[in-house]
Structures are given as C-alpha cells and as structure tokens.
C-alpha cells in the first residue's frame, strides 16, 4: 500500500493513529451538528409559540354606549346639574292674610323695593317679568297657594320652579335660584309664604347680581306649564303684595 508521503515509510502504528483521528473528527462533527440542530429547533419552537400566543389573545371590544331615549331628555335648554339644598329658615308670617293677597316672593322684599320692567329689552327680547334683588341665599317664597308643577334646570333660567295655582290655569315662575328648599318635589302642595328656594344667579344672570326673576303667566291649556302667556307681575305685587320678613335668626 503506498504511503501518503512519497519516500516516507509508515508502519502499522501510524495507520492506526490516522484511523483513530478520523473517527474522533467524525464523532466531533456529528456532536456539533446535533447541538446546532437542537439549538435551531429550540428557537423555531419558541418563535411558533410566541406567534400562537399573540394569535390567541382576544382583542377587547370597545365599550358600547346604550342609546339615549329622547323621552328621558328635557327640552333643549336643559342642563345636567343637581342644585344644592339648604336648611329651611324660620320666617315671620303675617297673620290674617286677605284672600286676594299675594306674597312678594323674596323674604323681606317690600312693595317700595319693586319697579316696573316688564317691557324692558334684555338683548333682543322683552323681559316680561320682574327682577327682585336680594343677597344670595335669601329665601324665595311661594307667592300663592298651589302646587309645584315643574322643577326645571335651564340655560337661561338656571335653577327654576314652575308653580300652578289651585285651578292649574296660571303658572308662577321663579328663576335664577341658588338652590331648592329641602325636600321640594314636583306635585307638592304649597301655601302662600312657603320657602321653595333661595335667591341666586344661576343661568344667564350676572354672577355678581343675585336676584329672583319672577313672572306670572296665563296657561294656554290647563296643566301645561310650557304653554303660557306672561302678564305684568308689577301692578299685582304693587297692589296686593305682602311682605314676609326673615326670621330673627337671619338664616
């Protein structure tokens, strides 16, 4: 058998060593191949697991909003706000009121404090009411016997009350209140002089000029507080108005 290198003789020991070296190389190559194969398989499985996990994640649906029932909405003037409540103050009620007497609807207000303003312009509209100025929080009083027709929150009037007369043919409107009297509810029976709210400047009233906007209106249809024609309250209060003073506590 020829030797790998011409001119160099090789004994039996050299051949065995060469064969052993080849075997070692083959085994090492096999081990390295297996290791790389195992590593490649590991990363492949990891990649597939990650993609599967992403695919299994449920995409949260955006929250849905329940449709609004138009019947639950107030008139387009309405605002969402809850008026505050105050404790009801003690008042000095006059005795033996005449049947035709009307309470001046701000505690302590007198006939001589009133002035006519029914036809004054407020922007592009006639006022069609009377304003009675008083410190914020002064009690607002029911002008006549009757019932609460509507408690209403509006952009121009702010916190308001619509009061029916006993025959439900007239409406008495109180606006720009700071708050309702505690426990006041629609349908509640009222007597002249009952505290129903407090003077404020809600709605479009100037913040620094608290007052009661008060109107008396003839209903076009009995019981329908939103259909009415105002009459001038000034001559009525000037002729028949009665003052109820605030209590000695000043509450």
Q: In the 3-class helix/strand/coil scheme, how is 103-163 assigned residue by residue?
A: ECCECCCCHHHCCCCCCCEECCEECCCEEEECCCCCEEECCCCEEEEEEEEECCCEEEEEE
* Alpha-carbon span 83 to 180, nearest angstrom: 7
pLDDT on residue 54:
43
Instruction: Residue 212: name the closest of 195, 225, 231 by CA.
Output: 195
d(C-alpha 1, C-alpha 9), whole Å: 10
Is-contact 115 39, C-beta < 8 A? no
Taken as a whole, the chain contains a residue count of 251
The closest alpha carbon to 245, from 87, 92, 88, belongs to 92
Query: How many whole angstroms separate alpha carbon 17 and alpha carbon 202?
Result: 108
Q: Which fold has domain 77-246?
A: Glucose Permease (Domain IIA) (2.70.70)
Q: Residue 43: what pLDDT?
A: 62
Q: What is the mean pLDDT of each run of 10 residues along the chain (251 residues)?
A: 48 60 68 67 61 47 42 43 57 72 95 87 79 96 95 94 94 96 96 96 94 94 83 94 71 44
Which of 22, 189, 192 is CA-nearest to residue 91? 192
Q: Which DSSP string do the residues of 146-206 spell out, in sequence order? A: EEEEEEEEETTTEEEEEEE-TTSSEEEEEEEEEEEPTT--TT-EE-TT-EEEEEB--TTS-
Q: Note the pLDDT of residue 117.
A: 81
For β-strands 125-126 and 130-133, DSSP reports them as: unpaired
CB 91 within 8 A of CB 108: no
Q: Is 0.85 topped by the overall pTM? A: no
| Domain positions in the chain | 12-53, 77-246
pLDDT at 87: 60
Residue-level pLDDT at 76: 41
Return the pLDDT at 60.
44
Torsion region of 151: left, alpha or beta (phi above 0 gives left; psi -120 to 50 gives alpha): beta
């Amino acid at each position: 058998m020829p030797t790998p290198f011409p001119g160099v003789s090789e004994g039996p020991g050299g051949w065995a060593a060469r064969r052993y070296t080849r075997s070692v190389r083959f085994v090492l190559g096999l081990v390295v191949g297996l290791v790389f194969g195992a590593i490649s398989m590991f990363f492949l499985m990891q990649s597939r697991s990650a993609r599967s996990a992403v695919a299994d994640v449920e995409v949260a649906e955006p929250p849905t909003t329940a449709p609004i029932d138009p019947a639950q909405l107030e008139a387009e003037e309405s605002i969402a706000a809850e008026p505050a409540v105050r404790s009801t103050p003690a008042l000095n009620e006059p005795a033996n009121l005449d049947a035709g007497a009307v309470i001046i609807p701000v505690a302590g207000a007198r006939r001589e404090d009133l002035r006519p303003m029914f036809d004054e312009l407020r922007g592009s509209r006639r006022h069609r009411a009377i304003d009675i100025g008083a410190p914020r929080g002064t009690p607002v009083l029911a002008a006549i016997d009757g019932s609460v027709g509507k408690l209403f929150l509006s952009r121009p009037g702010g916190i308001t009350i619509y009061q029916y007369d006993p025959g439900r043919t007239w409406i008495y409107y109180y606006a720009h209140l700071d708050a309702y009297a505690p426990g006041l509810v629609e349908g509640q029976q009222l007597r002249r002089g009952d505290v129903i709210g407090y003077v404020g400047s809600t709605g479009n009233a100037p913040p620094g000029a608290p007052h009661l906007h008060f109107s008396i209106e003839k209903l076009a249809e009995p019981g329908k507080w939103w259909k009415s024609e105002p009459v001038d309250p000034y001559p009525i209060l000037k002729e028949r108005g009665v003052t109820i003073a605030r209590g000695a506590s000043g509450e």
